[in-house]
Amino acid sequence: MPNRPALTVAPGPDAPDEITRQLCLIRRERWQRIGLTNVAFALCAIFVPVWIVLICALANLAAEFATMMLMERLDPARMPWRYRLTIFVSFVMEISFTLPPILAWHSPDDYAKAFAVGMVMSTLLQLATVRALHQPFGLAGITGVAVVIIPGNAVYWIDQNDAAGLVLSTVAALTGLAYAIVALYSNYGMHAEIASARRAAQEGERAKGRFLAQMSHELRTPLNAILGMGHAELRRNRDMLSQQRLSVLMASAEGLSSILDDILDLTAIQEGRMPIRRQPVNPSREITAAAGLFQPGIEAAGLALRLRIDSALDRTDMADAQRLRQCLSNLLSNALKHTQEGEIRVTAQRIDLPDGTARLQIDVADSGSGVPEHLHELVFEPFCNDPGMPVALQKRQGGIRTGTTAPPALPVESNGLGLSISRALARQMGGDLVIIPSREDGGAGPLRGAVFRLTIALPALPERSEALENATTAPVATQTANPAQNLPSAQRGRRLRVLVVDDIATNRLVAATYLRMLGAGTVEAASGEEALRLLVRDLPDLVLLDMNMPGMDGRETIRQIRALPDAPGRIPVIAMTADALIDHRAQYLASGVDGYLSKPLNPDRMAAEIAAVLPRRDDGPEPEPPPSAPEPSLP
């Protein structure tokens, strides 16, 4: 346990934070406090002249608002005089509150004396609790109370010529003040410990974020080489045994890449950094497209895919299409992994609600192993590994991400995050993800597969606009079997030339290999300075730019590219980086690049991103060079 801070009136290094928290607290309940204070002053007027009570009430109210204004962004080290003024105003505020009850104490009425004691004790209680976040302010207030009650009590008993009463009441008053100071110190220590623990937790979260970013970056670079060379060899090698081994290698590497993506997604969701972007979409087409990606894998496994979509969903609604596909892909992947025979059913319907909104409900059912009811919540926990859960059921949690181009050719082991991420995303979209009980004989028989129900809120549509028209008429983008078909050429009769900029030769080799597979030519640069020289000397059609190079990094390189005159300054640039956190894409696009590719690279995503930033031409790309053509090699 950390040591409690010493009792002091001098501001410590945490004083600005303490004052800020103190200000937030007294502002939050200021109207209740001011209201009750005025009630107390009104009761004082029964026993004390009204003009005295009125003066004290106005002084107290002015001091209340003055302290709040003075405490705004107050740093004692930089503003010592303002800090001292705040302490003095706190002192005056408590004098103005305590003076009327002490005057009431002088009244011969016993009720007045009881009322006076109650008011003094209430203000000491308030000082020891509400004003305890910054010790000097609380101690100034207690001092103000003491300055009034000790002399006021002495005057009363001297007038009564009662020495015993003077001694006993003075001891009682000093005891009450001492107890208030002890309580103030104790509460201050508790608040200080909580604030310290919160700062430590926040620093831990920042450290975790830095670690995840660094870990993701460092692991994606070798993964990029593994997947890049694997794709190239798998495409060129005709030996069946070699292809099978390479497929296992590729599936394992893609599984590791999926784990990295899921960890980053889960962290972003837990920190509230996963944005939900609702746009006009056609739910029926989005569901059909997501299911279509899994059709080949499901059929290859000897299963049937049954898709039943309510006709009411063939319309325009407001939803985040990317997150919807991500959730549905996780559920379909989960069903495919754990169904050995039978079928996978997807049932989608639109449920209209009385408030004019609607809810999208998607049931993904399989004929695999069921999930016992006592584990229905457990499977949604990240990395769940409960000893009481069968291994087969533990594996039901996994899933692939939307970011992948298609379901893997071979099933990969569950990473325990897919269902957890899908539930968190569904709840962010105003819905949920639950398991629906599925048993034979109306619930009394054995388990007969799992049924996952995904619900998403569909808010009311905005006014009809061009975006709505596009959502209704535009087809849903899907992956094609041949990614090279999506890659535009530079101009008729000349294939696309791409400048690949990366300080790591392996990354340049992977990108160049993919581009050759897609029918493009490449030029390589190992630094931002070299890339600028090549741009001016022989302008390519596109730049793939690493953002984390030593010396002139990607941000500075793109800044200097955009400063070039004429065509070189307008060349399309795609960020090619191992930075894959949620914020990175937005940051890099804001810096001036036209597209974003996260490592490990993938030929399908590369083709899609290039097609998105380059204008499509009438002619197609040149065919891929024959296998005998020399491949780029490491220098």
Q: pLDDT by residue (tens digit) across 294-306?
A: 888 888 889 999 9
The pLDDT of residue 3 is 53
Residue 619 in tokens? 């002619």
Sign of CA dihedral 592, 596, 600, 606: negative
pLDDT at 441: 41
Whether the per-residue pLDDT at 224 is higher than 70: the answer is yes
**pLDDT exceeds 80 at position 12:** no
Average pLDDT over residues 60-64: 94
Q: Which of 9-23, 132-146, 464-478 has the highest mean pLDDT?
A: 132-146
Q: How confident is the model at residue 230 (pLDDT cuts 50, 70, 90)?
A: confident
pLDDT > 90 in the chain, percent: 39
Confidence at 445, pLDDT banded by 50, 70, 90: very low
> What is the pLDDT at residue 582?
64
Asked if pLDDT for residue 442 goes beyond 60, the answer is: no
pLDDT of residue 375: 80
pLDDT at site 404: 36
Which is more confidently placed, 631 or 509?
509
> What does pLDDT average to over the chain?
81
Burial class (CB in 10 A: 0-12, 13-18, 19+), 612: middle
Per-residue pLDDT, 51: 95
CA distances from 398 to 366, 393, 417, 466 (A): 15, 10, 6, 39
Asked whether the predicted pLDDT for residue 108 surpasses 80, the reply is yes
Q: What pLDDT does 140 receive?
A: 93
Q: What is the pLDDT of residues 553-584, one digit of tens each?
A: 999 999 999 999 888 888 999 998 887 666 77
- What's the confidence (pLDDT) of residue 488? 58
Residue 401 pLDDT exceeds 50: no
Q: What distance, in Å, lies between the first and last C-alpha atoms of the chain?
A: 57
Can you give the pLDDT at residue 5?
Answer: 53
304-339 pLDDT tens trace: 999 999 999 999 888 988 889 889 988 998 888 888
- pLDDT value at 390 more than 50: no
pLDDT at 118 over 60: yes
Question: Which residues lie closer than 8 Å to 392 by C-beta, 6 or more apart?
Answer: 338, 369
User: Residue 494: its pLDDT value, please?
Assistant: 62
C-alpha distances in angstroms, 482 versus 237, 409, 440, 497?
Answer: 18, 15, 44, 20
Predicted confidence at residue 383, as pLDDT, reads: 61
Please state, for a pLDDT cut of 70, what percent of the chain lies above it.
Answer: 82
Give the span between the Cα atoms of 57 and 42, in whole angstroms. Answer: 9
Relative to beta strand 497-501, strand 542-545 is parallel
Write out the two tokens for 191. 């608040």
Which has the higher per-residue pLDDT, 400 or 192? 192
